[in-house]
Structure 1
Amino acid sequence: MTVGIDKIGFYTSPYFIDMVDLAHARNEDPKKYLIGIGQKKQAVIPPTQDVVTMAANAAQKILSEGDKEKIDLVIFGTETGVDNSKSAAIYVQSLLGISKQARSFEIKQACYGGTAGVQMAVDHIRLHPESKALVLAADIARYGLNTPGEVTQGGGAVAMVISSNPRILEVEDKRSFHSDNIMDFWRPLYRHDAVVDGHYSNSIYADFFQQTWMDYRQKYHRTIDDFRALTFHLPYTKMGLKALRSIIDQSKHPEAILEQFEASRMYNALVGNLYTGSLYLSLISLLSNSEALNQDDLIGLFSYGSGAQGEFYSGRLSDQFDRSQLKTDMDTILSERSRITIEQYQEMYQTFLPLNEEDKLFDVSSDNSCFVLKGRKENRRIYLTKNGSGDAQSLD
């Protein structure tokens, strides 16, 4: 029996800024962002979206009514939680109408939470092959305006159905881990924006990749040429390229490996940083844009979460995989977004629910997503669903 990713869905904001516009506004050479960082566009998340609505919007595109009945595990990986007690998963379970006979909880370990959820779900399905699990990875990356990290912001959500006999990726029981108490990035409870030591975090990322890659090779006696492609957690796309270049000399066919990496970072360069979802957007990008993948091809996945936790694991492309629909859906999502000005971006960036208990409501009329955040009243978040006409109904 094989277990892995059976369905995968994506959602991001309908708004983006162009990195050339941002570079000009910050008096920087655009090449610094386009080449030095490897980013072209950045998603801008409106106040009417949070990780709950983005995850629900990503999942509703892929879930059938049969899936909702068979799902008995909902795991939400995020570092942008909406409550210190109640999990974002409980909200999404309710919004989507998933069976109430399900475990539902949230995982936090920086950008690693989505991978932790995938591995827990895979282990669950191996024990319960008739069940299905829903894994959600959603975040909003914030470093502040006019900061060195501003160019690596972004946001969005990835939703994955984990099942037996998956139609996308069969996850192998081959994994290596590395963890250590590192202060390279953290998000205090009293701040909307992250605190990060950028150069140190880059160094730790590279160290953790080297450690997990070396451990994986030694445990399973594989080399880089056993893999058709390697995918990476991509807070910005140049970061993954640096990691890949550190081992590319081990390959007899480096051009082929680098070509697959280029396919895997196309969408990340257009969306920006998803934190927990970044690795899985990279996987979506590879699956959508590579024309060289074949059934049973081995794909490596490197996951990293600051603080810090790293993991390298592997999966095989299912013989049932069909890239055409996934690519069509992704290209539609990204092409239908609206480019906004830097002034509009800055105003949107500074509009959010305050950290105190103040009530606040947003105008949701311009947000045509299925699920939206209306705001907060009497300490309760208000989520709405929109029908085809744009009218909203409360899902309290």
Structure 2
Amino acid sequence: MSVVGIEAMNVFGGTARIGVIELMDHRGLDTKRADNLLMVERSVALPQEDPISFAVNAAKPLIDALSPAERDRIELLITCSESGIDFGKSMSTYVHHYLGLNRNCRLFELKQACYSGTAGFQMAVNFILSQTSPGAKALVIATDIARAVLPEGVELSMLRNSEWGYAEPSSGAGAVALLVSDTPRVFQVDVGANGYYGYEVMDTCRPVPDGDVGDSDLSLMSYLDCCENAYLEYAKRVDGADYASTFQYLVFHTPFGGMVKGAHRTLMRKLSKADRQSIENDFNTRVMPGLDYCQRVGNIMGATVFLSLASTIDRGDYSSARRLGCFSYGSGCCSEFFSGVVQPASQQLLAQQRIDDGLNQRVLLNVEEYDQLMIANRPVRFGVRDLTLDPHGDRYIGAMAKPRPLLYLSQVAGFHRKYEWVA
């Protein structure tokens, strides 16, 4: 059987962050509900940050680690996002340019809400398995942003005690880059072990470029429905699959931790007839390792399931090979359950990216600074034609301990975006 999977991966969680409890208290929300959110902090996008800068900053260390010959074998670049900056031009073209990749490369973008990253990953996996270009590599970058912007005509005081406020603490910004090849040093896919499930539902959507609408209860029901049925389809295709024993760790798309905990509890009750304490113990052992980074970045839509995968690899015990079960969900909806194997050396390789250090180095904002950013972000909303920014003089960018130069938006000229590297 052909071998395929993730050769290398990296997470970029932005420049700034804010504590969830502080934000909830500032908005006049019930902080006791934070126990259900299972959130600690969230990334906050600066005006100079967008899905393109996030994507490039996530992928750059992977590209820099390749030899020129290996770099030239990247023949497919897919950006996966529901935060595109243009209805026609793909963000992949910008990413390709700033990474300096070979021009003999397919460039395009995928959209299917939070499922987009998995869609791009599975497309890359099948490109490698096809062997139409033996030895080729694919770069898949899931990049998304929930930009904190104060709408025109809305005062900051109007955000207090708003039901919308409970979505604000779990919304994130960032990107995960995956180098997919036939040398899966980080995550080897179980080829053919996939269960997918989808149908039309209006749980959440973005009918306008800068606004989300949805039904939170319907979204929860759709997530739970898809989690169960995607796994059941997986079990039909994989002989002997057992939710409770086949996977040493479980990786979930994580809108917020409480949603994952509910889905896991439901499957353990239905499929394994487990009691309450057994479910709690199992959640702490097999699921919690994957929530750590999600609790610190927030929901980055198409990238979140791979943020959870990175967290699971960094936080798990890999004294021997472990099989991971992964559930991906995107509103609207489409979902998939797939699996793969992580080796002891995989954890060591991912550790070289120092993802934890990158998250710690983000500037911690107070609530007043966060509110001011909501106003400062107004000029960079979707469709801006001309704009000049100064990433070199920004106090937050300057305050971040950057281990390497990072890319930031500096100008929009006639809709054309231009970026600069800041050390």
Report the TM-score when normalising by structure 2. 0.86
The alpha-carbon deviation at position 307 of structure 1 amounts to 0.7
After superposition, give the CA deviation of every residue in 1:196-237 in whole Å (9 maximum; x if it has no partner).
211111111111111111111122131111111111000111
Output the amino acid matched with 1:230. Answer: L
Question: 2:200 maps to which residue?
Answer: 181
The alpha-carbon deviation at position 139 of structure 1 amounts to 0.2
The alpha-carbon deviation at position 349 of structure 1 amounts to 2.8
The alpha-carbon deviation at position 46 of structure 1 amounts to 0.4
Question: 1:90 maps to which residue?
Answer: 93
Question: 1:32 maps to which residue?
Answer: 33
Question: 1:163 maps to which residue?
Answer: 181
Question: 1:140 maps to which residue?
Answer: 145
Output the amino acid matched with 1:88. Answer: M
After superposition, give the CA deviation of every residue in 1:304-347 in whole Å (9 maximum; x if it has no partner).
01011011111111464133752770121111112111221122
Output the amino acid matched with 2:94. Answer: Y
- What does 1:113-132 align with in structure 2 at a 5 Å threshold? 113-128=116-131, 129-132=134-137
What is the distance in 2 between the residues matched to 1:289 and 1:89? 31
- What does 1:10-159 align with in structure 2 at a 5 Å threshold? 10-33=11-34, 35-63=35-63, 64-66=66-68, 67-128=70-131, 129-142=134-147, 146=159, 147=164, 148-159=166-177
* 2:230 aligned residue (202, 212, 233): 212
Question: Within the alignment, does 1:201 sit opposite 2:232 as a pair?
Answer: no
**SS of match in other structure, 1:245:** helix
CA contact (8 A) 1:166 1:318 kept: no
Question: 2:351 maps to which residue?
Answer: 326
CA contact (8 A) 1:234 1:268 kept: yes
CA contact (8 A) 1:143 1:195 kept: no
The alpha-carbon deviation at position 68 of structure 1 amounts to 2.0
The alpha-carbon deviation at position 8 of structure 1 amounts to 0.3
CA contact (8 A) 2:86 2:383 kept: no
* 2:368 aligned residue (320, 328, 343): 343
Question: Within the alignment, does 1:223 sit opposite 2:248 as a pair?
Answer: no
Closer, same or farther: CA 357–47 of 1 in aligned 2, 3 Å: closer
Output the amino acid matched with 1:183. Answer: M
* 1:316 aligned residue (326, 332, 341): 341
What is the distance in 1 between the residues matched to 2:367 and 2:311? 27
Question: Within the alignment, does 1:363 sit opposite 2:421 as a pair?
Answer: no
4+ aligned runs moved over 6 Å, structure 1: none
Output the amino acid matched with 2:3. Answer: T
What is the distance in 2 between the residues matched to 1:29 and 1:91? 42
After superposition, give the CA deviation of every residue in 1:48-87 in whole Å (9 maximum; x if it has no partner).
1111111100000122244421100001110000111110
Question: 1:3 maps to which residue?
Answer: 4
Question: 2:401 maps to which residue?
Answer: none
What is the distance in 2 between the residues matched to 1:142 and 1:51? 10
What is the distance in 2 between the residues matched to 1:167 and 1:319? 10
After superposition, give the CA deviation of every residue in 1:269-299 in whole Å (9 maximum; x if it has no partner).
011111011000000001001125622x211
Question: 2:155 maps to which residue?
Answer: none
Question: 1:276 maps to which residue?
Answer: 302
Closer, same or farther: CA 160–273 of 1 in aligned 2, 3 Å: same
**SS of match in other structure, 1:291:** coil
Q: Please give the root-mean-square deviation of Cα atoms over the aligned residues, in Å.
A: 2.0
What is the distance in 2 between the residues matched to 1:106 and 1:278? 17
**SS of match in other structure, 2:234:** helix
**SS of match in other structure, 1:194:** strand
Output the amino acid matched with 1:55. Answer: A
Closer, same or farther: CA 259–327 of 1 in aligned 2, 3 Å: farther
CA contact (8 A) 1:134 1:161 kept: yes
Q: Which moved more, 1:142-151 or 1:271-280?
A: 142-151
Question: 1:377 maps to which residue?
Answer: 413
Closer, same or farther: CA 274–355 of 1 in aligned 2, 3 Å: closer
Question: 1:298 maps to which residue?
Answer: 323
Closer, same or farther: CA 317–27 of 1 in aligned 2, 3 Å: same
Question: 1:237 maps to which residue?
Answer: 257
What is the distance in 2 between the residues matched to 1:213 and 1:144? 37
After superposition, give the CA deviation of every residue in 1:106-134 in whole Å (9 maximum; x if it has no partner).
00000111101110101111123401000
Closer, same or farther: CA 201–142 of 1 in aligned 2, 3 Å: farther
The alpha-carbon deviation at position 267 of structure 1 amounts to 0.8
What is the distance in 2 between the residues matched to 1:305 and 1:293? 33
What is the distance in 2 between the residues matched to 1:97 and 1:144? 32
The alpha-carbon deviation at position 257 of structure 1 amounts to 5.3
Closer, same or farther: CA 375–187 of 1 in aligned 2, 3 Å: farther
The alpha-carbon deviation at position 354 of structure 1 amounts to 3.6
Question: 2:402 maps to which residue?
Answer: none
Q: Which moved more, 1:342-351 or 1:207-216?
A: 342-351
Structure 2 unmatched ranges of 5 or more: 151-158, 399-404
What is the distance in 1 between the residues matched to 2:187 and 2:149? 36
CA contact (8 A) 2:327 2:338 kept: yes
The alpha-carbon deviation at position 31 of structure 1 amounts to 2.4
How many correspondences in the alignment? Answer: 384
Report the TM-score when normalising by structure 1. 0.92
What is the distance in 2 between the residues matched to 1:170 and 1:125? 13
